[in-house]
């Protein structure tokens, strides 16, 4: 590649550009000029893959929501087994203190940008276990985007929550802003105040 | 076998160990014994035909100052005995909750004793693996099913951040 500057000094020489400047220019081109952020939001909204982490009895409704009758896969959501291939966590019902450790570990393993849905009355404020000594609220351990009320919620409301999350991602441009800024500006990151996993391995 | 006949046979089997016998609803018999004799009682009941522990119940009598431990015994092999459940009950002092394990007589008492340990803090001497089953150790230290454990009554209300 032959590049000459204005005075004709570069004749016969090869120049390699500054990689940081090129990356910045490319990001400006893609995100601002070509509006690729819309594509990222669209892609993220239709590939919300929830992790299979059944904390409690609402998991039955969660399973029914992906059965042929209610078919949530039409919204682009597919339950998956490995936390490193998923970007959505649906907390199904009560979270005991022992399970809260597992929820938090799974949440940390998931790649960004990631989302959380809390399902059922127990996940809102404790439900019938509101004064139990052995539960935590999901909003104390992960930042929750959408709450589903009900005991248990119907599979239709699970589908509705997926659609609400899709709307939120596309209207607030959550995924593309994450790429631009490196974190989610619309949601505070939650760090659990309680010590969850210290009893593990003594 | 009628319940009265079974009570007579248990009385002749256990002899002077029996302090009190009650019949509840024709199929549940509660036998009260002393804390010191519990291992011998369990051995005799196993030879008699009650081959497993269905359930272990602990009741906290806080004002009276004792725990009442009840082993509910059942039978799989003996058809006549399988209709009945026999509860072997004994009291231990509340300020020193230490008793002997029945693990070596009834293996099915293993997890039940561990649950009693985590919820009430009762120590079963001689149990090979006495650690919490369901609760995590920091929660088990609170001994949450004792009567003096204070349960929070008011629900938490989520308010929107401003």
Q: Are B143 and B135 in contact (CB under 8 A)?
A: no
Residues A144-163: pLDDT tens digits?
999 999 988 999 999 999 99
Q: In angstroms, what CA-CA distances link B81 with A97, B5, B37, B52, B86?
A: 41, 11, 23, 12, 9
- Which residue of A124, A126, A199 is in closest CB contact with B138? A199
State the average pLDDT over residues A68-86. 90
> Cβ of A133 and B142 within 8 Å?
yes
pLDDT of residue B92 exceeding 90: yes
Q: Kindly compute the dihedral angle of the four CA atoms of residues A105, A110, A115, A116, in this order, to the nearest 10 degrees.
A: -30
Cβ–Cβ pairs < 8 A, chains A and B: 37
B60/B3: higher pLDDT: B60
Pick the residue of A56, A123, A134, A201 with the most B CBs within 10 A to test the interface with B by mutation. A134
A9/B39: higher pLDDT: B39
Structural domains of chain B sorted by starting position, each given as residue range(s) with its CATH number in brackets: 3-140 (3.30.460.80)
> Cβ of A133 and B144 within 8 Å?
yes
State the average pLDDT over residues A1-13. 57
What local confidence, expressed as pLDDT, does residue A126 receive? 82
- Which residue of B136, B153, B157 is in closest CB contact with A97? B136
Angle, vertex CA A83, rays to CA A172 and CA A56, nearest 5 = 90
End-to-end CA gap in chain A? 63
Q: From CA A22, how far away is CA A18, in angstroms rounded?
A: 6
* Confidence class for position A4, pLDDT limits 50, 70, 90: low
Residues A10-67: pLDDT tens digits?
566 666 677 888 888 888 888 777 888 888 899 999 999 999 888 888 989 999 999 9
pLDDT of residue B30 exceeding 60: yes
- What is the nearest CA distance from A199 to chain B, expressed in angstroms? 6
Does A97 lie at the interface with B, CB-CB under 8 angstroms?
Answer: yes
Only one residue has tokens 């550009």, namely A17
Q: Which residues of B touch A98 (CB under 8 A)?
A: 134-136
pLDDT of residue B62 exceeding 70: yes
Only one residue has tokens 């390699």, namely A16
What local confidence, expressed as pLDDT, does residue B155 receive? 63
> Cβ of A125 and B155 within 8 Å?
yes
Do the strands A88-92 and A115-119 form a parallel or antiparallel pair, or are they unpaired?
parallel
What local confidence, expressed as pLDDT, does residue B66 receive? 92
* Confidence class for position A190, pLDDT limits 50, 70, 90: confident
Closest Cα to residue A97, out of A50, A55, A145, A61? Answer: A55
Interface of B with A (CB under 8 A): 134-139, 142, 144, 149, 151-158
* Confidence class for position A81, pLDDT limits 50, 70, 90: confident
Closest Cα to residue A177, out of A4, A13, A32? Answer: A32
Residues A88-146: pLDDT tens digits?
999 998 999 889 999 999 999 998 889 999 999 988 888 888 888 888 888 889 999 99
* Confidence class for position A9, pLDDT limits 50, 70, 90: low
State the average pLDDT over residues B56-72. 93
Structural domains of chain A sorted by starting position, each given as residue range(s) with its CATH number in brackets: 49-181 (3.40.50.12280)
- Which residue of A124, A125, A133 is in closest CB contact with B139? A133
> Cβ of A131 and B144 within 8 Å?
no
Sign of CA dihedral B4, B58, B107, B95: negative
**DSSP-assigned states of every residue in A91-158:** EES-EEHHHHHHHHHHHHHSPSS-EEEEESHHHHH-GGGTT-SSEE-GGGTS--SEEE-SSSPPHHHH
Residues B118-157: pLDDT tens digits?
999 999 999 998 888 888 888 888 888 998 888 876 666 6
> Cβ of A131 and B153 within 8 Å?
yes
A99/A180: higher pLDDT: A99
> Cβ of B158 and A139 within 8 Å?
yes
State the average pLDDT over residues B25-50. 89
What local confidence, expressed as pLDDT, does residue A162 receive? 93
> Cβ of B137 and A199 within 8 Å?
yes
Does A133 lie at the interface with B, CB-CB under 8 angstroms?
Answer: yes
State the average pLDDT over residues B50-65. 92
ipTM of the complex: 0.73
> Cβ of B156 and A134 within 8 Å?
no
């Amino acid at each position: 590649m032959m590049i000459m500057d204005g005075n004709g000094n570069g004749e016969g020489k090869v120049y390699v550009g500054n990689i940081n400047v090129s990356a910045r220019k490319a990001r400006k081109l893609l995100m601002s000029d070509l509006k690729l952020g819309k594509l990222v939001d669209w892609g993220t909204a239709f590939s919300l893959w929830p992790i299979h982490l059944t904390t409690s009895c609402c998991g039955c409704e969660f399973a029914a929501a992906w059965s042929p009758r209610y078919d949530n896969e039409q919204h682009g959501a597919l339950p998956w087994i490995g936390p490193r291939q998923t970007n959505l966590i649906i907390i199904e019902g009560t979270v005991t203190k022992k399970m809260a450790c597992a929820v938090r570990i799974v949440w940390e393993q998931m790649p960004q940008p990631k989302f959380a849905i809390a399902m059922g009355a127990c996940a809102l404020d404790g439900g019938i276990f509101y004064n139990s000594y052995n539960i935590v609220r999901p909003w104390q351990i992960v930042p929750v985007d959408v709450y589903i009320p009900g005991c248990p919620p119907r599979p239709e409301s699970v589908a509705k929550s997926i659609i609400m999350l899709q709307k939120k991602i596309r209207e607030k441009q959550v995924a593309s802003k994450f790429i631009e800024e490196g974190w989610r500006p619309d949601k505070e990151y939650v760090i659990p105040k309680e010590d969850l996993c210290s009893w593990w391995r003594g | 076998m009628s319940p009265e006949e079974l009570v007579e046979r248990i009385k002749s089997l256990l002899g002077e160990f029996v302090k009190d016998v009650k019949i509840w609803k024709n199929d549940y018999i509660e036998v009260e014994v002393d804390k010191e004799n519990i291992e011998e009682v369990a051995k005799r009941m196993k030879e008699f035909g009650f081959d497993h522990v269905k359930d272990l119940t602990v009741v906290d009598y806080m004002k009276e100052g004792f725990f009442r431990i009840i082993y509910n015994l059942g039978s799989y092999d003996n058809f006549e005995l399988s209709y009945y459940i026999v509860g072997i009950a004994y009291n231990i002092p509340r300020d020193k909750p230490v008793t002997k394990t029945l693990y070596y007589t009834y293996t099915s008492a293993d997890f039940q004793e561990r649950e009693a340990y985590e919820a009430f803090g009762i120590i079963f001497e001689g149990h090979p693996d006495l650690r919490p089953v369901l609760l995590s150790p920091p929660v088990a230290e609170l001994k949450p099913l004792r009567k003096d454990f204070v349960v929070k009554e008011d629900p938490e209300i989520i308010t929107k951040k401003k």
